[in-house]
């Protein structure tokens, strides 16, 4: 798989080479079977963690790799060349780890990050509700303070990794309607009252489980609050900025792999006395596919903006999401 090399550092080129090798050795040979049989290859995820891919953006003192967003999009594009589903889950897991690293206190970082970085524990991001999508300001899940605890009740929909993950970041309403009433909590799989719906039936994306997360009066200590009360909307949106980058990079990796496979197939197949690769109509289609990959520049631009704290970076990340979902 080829990828953009202009203006990359030697470290970034090495990062691409390492993750491409991992994708070729551990993802590509199994992607079709995983999509058909729907396993969740935890052993492969932990092998990825051995390369530092369980805490891509997490600071090194907690066991992370301390990479930038510009580095991260290279990682996830390369991994997606082997299996977009596993690469996509890894990007979500890393979003969870980054949120705890960024907004957690030292006790929270010490409690969850080493296991997340090693992928001994997996993470899930719980924002989408059956009636609210990813509109955090409209969510209905509630967290009620009860002395030194919070009691959470509500349902999360389409949660990647649900059931298999041990650590869940859940947004819940602790105050009035609107974004200022939202808080973020870390919930653990064994907390009483937490349960999961059946694995969703999906067209693709089957190498990771996707389930409802059901909170039925889940009682957790107040030290599970991430950030302060009322900070949840800000935390959710900052997490989504990076999450959109990761999924956009995975989409690029899958598209790049599809183009490479198409070129190989057409070069080796003949019809009516000539290679299919020499058919002008098919060349036009290949050119269109290659043109779509110019979106890589948009992904890099948004990642670099997020790294330098550019106030326009949220708009750039949202723009990537719109670009991805509106492609014909």
Helix (H) or strand (E) holding 171: strand 167-173
- Per-residue confidence (pLDDT) for residue 133, from 0 to 100: 64
* The CATH number, out of the four listed (3.90.1010.10, 1.10.540.10, 3.10.50.40, 3.30.465.10), of the domain defined by the range 10-118: 1.10.540.10
Q: Quote the CA–CA distance of 146 and 63 in Å, as a whole number.
A: 34
Print burial letters for 254-278: b (CB count within 10 Å at least 16), e (below 16).
bbbbebeebeeebeeeeeeeeebbe
To which H or E segment does residue 300 belong? helix 295-307
What is the model's pLDDT at position 35? 94
The pLDDT value recorded for residue 272 is 85
pLDDT of 43 reads 97
Fold of 240-325: Butyryl-CoA Dehydrogenase, subunit A; domain 3 (1.20.140)
Q: How far apart are CA 260 and CA 252, in angstroms?
A: 12
d(CA 308, CA 241): 13
Among residues 92, 115, 95, 91, the alpha carbon closest in space to that of 103 is found at 95
Nearest-angstrom CA–CA distance, 246 and 66: 16
Residues 219-255 have pLDDT tens digits of: 999 999 999 999 999 999 999 999 999 999 999 999 9
pLDDT at 222: 98
Q: Name residue, tokens 């953006």.
A: 57
DSSP 58-90: S-GGGT-----HHHHHHHHHHHHTT-HHHHHHH
User: Class for domain 123-233, per CATH?
Assistant: mainly beta
Residues of the chain with pLDDT under 70: 1-6, 132-136, 321-328
Which residues lie below 8 Å from residue 221, measured CB to CB, with a gap of 6+?
148, 149
pLDDT of residue 104: 98
Mention every residue, 6+ apart, whose C-beta is less than 8 A from residue 110: 62
Domain boundaries of the chain, sorted by first residue: 10-118, 123-233, 240-325
Determine the pLDDT at residue 2. 45
């Amino acid at each position: 798989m080829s990828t953009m090399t202009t203006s990359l550092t030697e470290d970034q080129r090495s990062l691409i080479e390492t993750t491409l090798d991992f994708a070729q050795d551990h993802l590509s040979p199994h992607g079709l079977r995983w999509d058909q049989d729907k396993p969740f290859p935890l052993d492969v995820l932990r092998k990825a963690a051995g390369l530092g891919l369980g805490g891509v953006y997490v600071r090194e003192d907690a066991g992370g790799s301390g990479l930038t967003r510009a580095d991260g999009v290279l990682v996830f594009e390369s991994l997606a060349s082997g299996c977009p589903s596993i690469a996509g889950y890894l990007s979500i897991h890393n979003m969870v780890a980054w949120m705890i690293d960024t907004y957690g206190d030292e006790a929270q970082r010490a409690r969850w990050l080493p296991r997340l970085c090693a992928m001994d524990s997996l993470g899930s991001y719980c924002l989408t509700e059956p009636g609210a999508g990813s509109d955090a300001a409209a969510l209905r899940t509630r967290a009620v303070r009860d002395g030194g605890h919070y009691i959470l009740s509500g349902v999360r929909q389409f949660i990647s990794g649900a059931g298999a993950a041990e650590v869940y970041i859940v947004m819940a309403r602790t105050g009035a309607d609107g974004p200022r009433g939202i808080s973020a909590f870390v919930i653990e799989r064994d907390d009483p009252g937490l349960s999961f719906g059946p694995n969703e039936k999906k067209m693709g994306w089957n190498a990771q489980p996707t389930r409802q997360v059901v909170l039925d009066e889940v009682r957790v200590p107040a030290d599970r609050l991430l950030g302060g009360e009322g900070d949840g909307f800000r935390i959710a949106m900052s997490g989504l900025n990076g999450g959109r980058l990761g999924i956009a990079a995975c989409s690029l990796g899958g598209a790049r792999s599809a183009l490479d496979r198409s070129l190989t197939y057409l070069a080796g197949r003949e019809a009516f006395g000539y290679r299919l690769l020499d058919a002008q109509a098919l060349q036009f289609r290949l050119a269109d596919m290659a043109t779509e990959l110019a979106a890589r520049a948009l992904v890099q631009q948004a990642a670099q903006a997020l790294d330098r704290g550019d106030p326009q970076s949220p708009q750039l990340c949202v723009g990537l999401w719109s670009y991805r979902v509106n492609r014909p």
